Chain A
Amino acid sequence: MGRRKGKERALQPSVGTNVPRTEGREKVTGEAKYIDDLTFPGMIHGRTVRSTIPRGKILSVTLDPAFDWSGFTVVDHRDVPPGGQNVVQMITDDQPFLAVDRVNHQEEPILLLAHADRSRLDAGCARVKITYAPEAPVLDLAHATHVLKQLTIEKGDLAAGFADADVIVEGTYQTGHQEQLYLEPNGAIALPGVDGDPAGITVYGSLQCPYYVVRALMRLFGLPIEKVRVVQSTTGGGFGGKEEYPSLLCGHAALLARKANRPVKMIYDRMEDLVATTKRHPSLVRHRTGVKRDGTITAIEIDLRLDGGAYLTLSPVVLSRASIHATGPYRTPHARIHGRAYLTHTPPNGAFRGFGAPQSQFAAELHMDKIAGELGLDPVALRRKNLLRPGDTTATGQLLEESVSAEEVLDRALARHEAALQRNNKSLRRSKAAGGSKARLHGTGLSMFFHGSGFTGGGEVKLASRAGLVLTRDGVEILVASTEIGQGTRTMLAQIVADALAIPYEWVATSDPDTARDPDSGPTVASRTCMIIGRILQRAGERLKEALGGYDSPKEFRRRARAHLDEKGPLTIIETYEKPGEIRWSDETYRGDAYGAYAWGCNIADVEVDPVTYEARCTRFTAVIDIGKAIHPLLAEGQIEGGTLQGIGWALYEDVVMKDGRMANGTLTNYIIPTTLDTPEIDVEIVENPYRHGPFGAKGVGECPIDGPPAAIVAAIRQACGVSLDRVPATPERIMIALDALEGGRR
C-alpha cells in the first residue's frame, strides 16, 4: 500500500462519454466475422425454391428426372420430423416453414436444396418444376376484407366530444411498404448436433433475437431448449428485418443440415432478400377530429388499417403500437381508435424500426396540418395548444407525470432552426445565382412525435427478461442475449455496467450472444435494450458490488474480485426484469400505462422543389429528441441521424413497386434510398429529461427518430409549392399529379 493517493487518478464515469466501441476495432480492421465469412468442415450450401404465384393450390412438385441429382439434399414439408411441427413459432400458428399443399404469397418457400457446389445448386433450382391451380389473390388494403387482428382504444365519450366541437375535420392518409435495407442480407449456418449430442441443432446467424430462433427450432424439431443452440454472428444491421424473419431462415438451414448431416450455409443475395423478406406494413388511416375555433381538440376518432401480408407474424403487436401512438403527442378528452390488420396475399410484413408508430403518426401529423389549414391557425400554435404535458392522460388513459418533453423539444427545435437560418442566410443567397433554371421553390415543415420505450403494455412482464454478470480476474463479463446489430448495444451496456460497478469501461467484457451461455434477455427491438436491459444490468452491477462487500476504488474491486474467485469460487449474478410498481395495464380493455416512458421529438425539414422536374430535395433537417440520457452521446446522435435519414428516404424516395403481389423493383438500382449526396445536413440536439426507472435516466432512442421526418417533409413540400400530399413517398411523379390537380382546381 505504498502508493500515495494522488497517484491514482479518480475514476471518471463512462456513461455520458464517447468511449471507443467495444467491437469497433474488429469491424474497422475487417477481423469481424459476418455470417458469410464463417465456414465449417464439410459445409455445403442451401437454397430456397419459392412460389411464383401469389395464391393457389400446389398441384405438383417435380424434380426433373433428366437432371443429375446426385450430391443434392432435398427437403420439403415432409422432412419435418415426428414430434416437430411445420409452424414458425410466433404469435399464432399460421405460417409453415415450407408450403404443404398451397401457397399464400409470392416467394413463399416450398422446397429446399443443398449441394457442396454452388453452381450445381443454381442448376438444380432451375430444374424443379412446380405446377399450381391459381386462386384469385387479394393484393392490397383497398381490397382486403379478412381481418387478422383488431383492437379498440376508447377514452371518454366520443359523441360528447364531437358535440363540444365547433368544427369537425376529416382526412385520409396512406403509406406504402418500406424495406429495412440492412447492409448485410439475411443469412444463417446450421450445424447438426449440439455440443456433441447428435439429436440437437446449432445455428449461427445474422439476427436480432437469438431466443426467437431457439423457440422456433424447438417447435420445428420438438426439441427441449438444451438441445438447441443459437449464436449470433457479427450482424450488419437489422432495423427489424432480422427480428422474426431469421426464425424461418434458420429453420430452413437446420432442416437441410439435419437431413444432409453436414453444416449448411444459406445466404440470401440482395435480390432474394428484397423480394422475399418482410417490409414495413402499408397503412391506411382515417382521422375525424372535433376542434374548437381556438384549436382545442375535443375528440379524435381514428380508423387505422395495416396490411399484414399473408401471415400474422407480428402484425398484432405492430397494430397495437400503431394504435397507441395514433393520436400523436396530443391530448384529447375523448377518443376512439379502431385498429385492424388485414390479410393480403403478399409476403408477410414485419418488424421495422418504429413498428407501426411511424405510419400512424405520419397520419396524425398530416391531419394536424389539415386542421390548422381549415381553421386558419398557425400549425405550430395548434400543436402547442394541444401537446401532451405533465398531468395529461394519453388515449389509453395513461397519466403522464415524468419525463414529458413535448413542449421542450418544440421550443428547442424552433430555436435551433432559427439559428441555422441566420447562419445560412448569406450562403443561401449566393447559391441562387447558379444556372438559368427556374428558381427552386423553398418550404419548411414541422412535425412532432413521441415513442414508447420497451414492449407495449404487459409485454415486459411477460418477457421477464434476464441478464447478468460473471466476475472475472480482470473485471466482469456481461451475460446478455441483446444483440449488437450496429447500433452500439455492447458498448452502451458495458458503459452502464462499468459505472454501476465503478470500474473502468475497459474492464467490462462483452461478446455476441450465444444461447448456450447467455440468458434470455428478450428480443433486441422496441427501443428497449438500453432502458430495460440496461436497467437490469445496472441492478446486476449494484448487486455484484454488494456481493463483494463494497469497495472504494477500481483497484480495490480487482483485489476483492480475485480474492473472491480464489477463495469462494466463481460468481455469477443474473437479474430479472422488475416492473416499476406504479405501472398498470390491462390487455382486455387496452387501458393503462402503455409504456413506462416515452421519447419525445420534434423535426423541422427544409425542402426545395424543382418546378421543372418536380423533384423535392431535403436541404436541411433539424431533429430534437428527448431520450432521457445519452449513455454514449455519439452513438445516440448516430441513431438519430440514421433514423432521420431512413425517414427522409421513406418520405421522398423509397417506393416498393408491387406487381402481382411481388416486389417488382427488388434491386438496389430500382429501390431508391438516399445516397450521401442526397443527405442533408442533419442538425441533432439531444434533450435529457431523465426517467427514474431507466439506467442513469435513459429511455429508448432507436425508433423515435423515424416517426417524424415524413410528415415534416410533406408539410415542407406543401409550403414550397402548395400541394397537400396524403401519402409518401413524395416522388416527383406524385408531386406532378398533385400540382396538376391544384392548377386544375384553380382554373
Chain B
Amino acid sequence: MRAAAETLEVLSPRTLKEALAMLRDAAAEGRPLTPLAGGTDLFVTLNAGTLQGRRFLDLWGLKELRGITKDGRGKQSALRFGALTTFTDCVRSSKVQKHLPILAAAASEVGGLQIQNRGTLGGNLGNASPAADSLPVLAVADTTLILASSDGERAIALGDFYTGYRASVRRPDELIVAIEVVVPKGRQVFRKVGTRAAQAISKVVMAAIGHRTAWGSVAPTVVRAHKLEAYLDGGGRDLAAAQQLLGDEIHPIDDIRSTAAYRLRVAKNLLAEVIPANR
C-alpha cells in the first residue's frame, strides 16, 4: 500500500448525531474528516497513494443509515434508501425489484459480488465518478438526496447536486443520509457497456424510464437528456433526429478506457434500442 497505515486515523461514531458532531468539529478545526462507507472507492485511492485525506469517519456501524422503505401510495409513493444501502441490498430487495428494477439491474452489474456486498449508494454518489453505475438510474427517476449536518437536514434534487467533475454542493460538515426516489411509471431499461462481464468500469451506461434517459461515462457528470426527452414527449419519433439531440447533450472524451467516437456511437445505438419503435 502506498499510504502508510500508521499515518491514518479513523473515528467510529456510534450514532448519526455523534457522527455529525464529529464532522462539524473536524471541519471547524480545519482537519476535515472523510466519510468512509464501504471503502470500495477509498481503499483504491489510498492504495494508489492518490488520496489526500488521512482522517476518516467510519459510517459502517450507523444503523440510521441503513434500510429500504416505501412511503406513501399511488402517485406520491417513494422509495427511501439509507445512504449505507449496499448494492447487494438493492439486488435482494423485493421493493426495488418491483418498483425500480433498473436499480437492481445496475447494482447486479457493479464490480463483483464482494464489491456489491460493501459498496453503497451513498458512496457511489459521494465518490461522484461519471462512470458510477447507479447514477443514471437515480438521475432518470425523480431523486432527492437528504443531506444532514448538526444544524439539520436539507433536501437537494439530484439534478442540483453535482456542480462539475467530481464536485457537489455537499459541505464538508454534511453527510448524505438518505436517497428518496419517486416510484416511476413507464418502461424501465438499464444498459451497461463495459467490455467485460464483471469488474468492468462503464464505457457507456444508461437508464431509461419511458421517454427519459440518463447517461453515464459520457460527460464530467451524469447527463439527463432533457432536450431529447422534450422531443419525444412532443411526439417526435425520428430516430436520426433523436440521436442527433442526444449527441448534442453528451460530451464523451477519449481516455485510456475507450474513445469519444465509440462512446457517442454506442450511446446512439442504445437509444435506438430503447425509444418507442414507431419511427
The answer to whether A614 touches B273, judged by C-beta atoms less than 8 angstroms apart, is no
Chain A interface: which of B64-72, B158-166, B209-217, B254-262?
B254-262
Bound form: Cα–Cα A275–B4 in Å = 22
Is A62 part of the contact surface with B, judged by Cβ < 8 Å? no
Q: Which of B7, B44, B262, B270 contacts A612 (CB 8 A)?
A: B270
The answer to whether B4 touches A119, judged by C-beta atoms less than 8 angstroms apart, is yes
Q: Which residues of B contact A437 (CB under 8 A)?
A: 273
Contact residues of B between 1 and 54, Cβ < 8 Å to A:
1-4, 6-7, 44, 47-49
Task: Take A119-B6, A615-B193 as given contacts and tell me if A676 and B256 are in contact as well, using a CB distance cutoff of 8 Å.
Answer: no
Is A553 part of the contact surface with B, judged by Cβ < 8 Å? no
The answer to whether B196 touches A678, judged by C-beta atoms less than 8 angstroms apart, is yes
Q: Which residues of A contact B257 (CB under 8 A)?
A: 665, 670
For residue A677, which residue of chain B has the nearest CB?
B197
Q: Which of A269, A669, A674, A732 contacts B262 (CB 8 A)?
A: A732
Chain A 391-419, CB-CB to B under 8 Å as 1, else 0, gives 00000000000000000000000000000
Bound form: Cα–Cα A332–B118 in Å = 59
The answer to whether A614 touches B266, judged by C-beta atoms less than 8 angstroms apart, is yes
The answer to whether A119 touches B196, judged by C-beta atoms less than 8 angstroms apart, is no
Is A672 part of the contact surface with B, judged by Cβ < 8 Å? yes
The answer to whether B48 touches A271, judged by C-beta atoms less than 8 angstroms apart, is yes
Chain B 166-210, CB-CB to A under 8 Å as 1, else 0, gives 000000000000000000000000000101111111011000000
Bound form: Cα–Cα A175–B259 in Å = 20
Q: Which residues of B contact A617 (CB under 8 A)?
A: 197
Q: Which of B197, B204, B265 contacts A678 (CB 8 A)?
A: B197
CB distance from B190 to the nearest CB of A (A): 12
Task: Take A119-B7, A269-B2, A614-B266 as given contacts and tell me if A672 and B259 are in contact as well, using a CB distance cutoff of 8 Å.
Answer: no
CB distance from B93 to the nearest CB of A (A): 23
Q: Which residues of A contact B4 (CB under 8 A)?
A: 117-119, 122
Q: Which residues of B contact A657 (CB under 8 A)?
A: 256
Is A747 part of the contact surface with B, judged by Cβ < 8 Å? no
Is B112 part of the contact surface with A, judged by Cβ < 8 Å? yes
Contact residues of A between 407 and 464, Cβ < 8 Å to B:
436-438
Is A613 part of the contact surface with B, judged by Cβ < 8 Å? yes
Tally of B interface residues using CB under 8 Å: 33
For residue A437, which residue of chain B has the nearest CB?
B273
Bound form: Cα–Cα A667–B204 in Å = 20
For residue B259, which residue of chain A has the nearest CB?
A733
Contact residues of A between 161 and 204, Cβ < 8 Å to B:
none
CB distance from A638 to the nearest CB of B (A): 22
Task: Take A436-B273, A613-B266, A670-B256 as given contacts and tell me if A676 and B198 are in contact as well, using a CB distance cutoff of 8 Å.
Answer: yes
Is B117 part of the contact surface with A, judged by Cβ < 8 Å? no
Is B269 part of the contact surface with A, judged by Cβ < 8 Å? yes
The answer to whether B269 touches A612, judged by C-beta atoms less than 8 angstroms apart, is yes
The answer to whether B266 touches A664, judged by C-beta atoms less than 8 angstroms apart, is no
Is A653 part of the contact surface with B, judged by Cβ < 8 Å? yes
The answer to whether A675 touches B2, judged by C-beta atoms less than 8 angstroms apart, is no
Task: Take A613-B193, A731-B195 as given contacts and tell me if A438 and B273 are in contact as well, using a CB distance cutoff of 8 Å.
Answer: yes
Bound form: Cα–Cα A653–B270 in Å = 22
CB distance from B129 to the nearest CB of A (A): 11
For residue B2, which residue of chain A has the nearest CB?
A122
For residue A673, which residue of chain B has the nearest CB?
B196
Most chain A CB atoms below 10 A, which of B1, B201, B204, B256 = B256
Task: Take A653-B195, A653-B196, A731-B195 as given contacts and tell me if A675 and B112 are in contact as well, using a CB distance cutoff of 8 Å.
Answer: yes
Q: Which residues of B contact A148 (CB under 8 A)?
A: none
For residue B263, which residue of chain A has the nearest CB?
A733
Q: Which residues of B contact A682 (CB under 8 A)?
A: none
CB distance from A48 to the nearest CB of B (A): 14
Q: Which residues of A contact B44 (CB under 8 A)?
A: 669
Contact residues of A between 710 and 746, Cβ < 8 Å to B:
731-733, 736
For residue B277, which residue of chain A has the nearest CB?
A436
Q: Which residues of B contact A436 (CB under 8 A)?
A: 273
Q: Which residues of B contact A122 (CB under 8 A)?
A: 2-4, 49
The answer to whether A665 touches B196, judged by C-beta atoms less than 8 angstroms apart, is no
Task: Take A118-B4, A678-B196 as given contacts and tell me if A612 and B256 are in contact as well, using a CB distance cutoff of 8 Å.
Answer: no
Bound form: Cα–Cα A613–B206 in Å = 13
Contact residues of B between 241 and 262, Cβ < 8 Å to A:
256-259, 261-262
Q: Which residues of B contact A731 (CB under 8 A)?
A: 195
Bound form: Cα–Cα A318–B97 in Å = 55
CB distance from B207 to the nearest CB of A (A): 16
The answer to whether B258 touches A675, judged by C-beta atoms less than 8 angstroms apart, is no
Bound form: Cα–Cα A117–B7 in Å = 12
The answer to whether B258 touches A733, judged by C-beta atoms less than 8 angstroms apart, is yes
Q: Which residues of B contact A736 (CB under 8 A)?
A: 261-262, 265
Contact residues of A between 616 and 668, Cβ < 8 Å to B:
617, 653, 657, 659, 664-665, 667
Bound form: Cα–Cα A373–B189 in Å = 41
CB distance from B264 to the nearest CB of A (A): 11
CB distance from B174 to the nearest CB of A (A): 29
The answer to whether A675 touches B256, judged by C-beta atoms less than 8 angstroms apart, is no
Bound form: Cα–Cα A657–B254 in Å = 12
Q: Which residues of A contact B201 (CB under 8 A)?
A: 669-670
Bound form: Cα–Cα A731–B203 in Å = 12
For residue B1, which residue of chain A has the nearest CB?
A269
Bound form: Cα–Cα A617–B198 in Å = 13
Q: Which of A612, A653, A659 contacts B266 (CB 8 A)?
A: A612
Q: Which residues of B contact A732 (CB under 8 A)?
A: 193, 195, 203, 262, 266
Contact residues of A between 291 and 325, Cβ < 8 Å to B:
none
Bound form: Cα–Cα A446–B227 in Å = 48
CB distance from A118 to the nearest CB of B (A): 6
Bound form: Cα–Cα A203–B47 in Å = 28
Q: Which 4 A-B pairs have the closest CB atoms?
A: A119-B4, A677-B197, A665-B256, A733-B262
Which residues of B are at the interface with A, using a C-beta cutoff of 8 A?
Answer: 1-4, 6-7, 44, 47-49, 112, 193, 195-201, 203-204, 256-259, 261-262, 265-266, 269-270, 272-273
Known: A653-B195, A653-B196, A665-B257. 13 other contacts (CB 8 A): A269-B1, A271-B48, A612-B266, A613-B193, A615-B193, A664-B256, A670-B201, A675-B198, A677-B198, A678-B198, A732-B193, A732-B195, A732-B262
6 A-B pairs whose Cβ atoms sit less than 8 Å apart in the complex: A269-B1, A613-B266, A670-B256, A676-B198, A678-B196, A733-B262
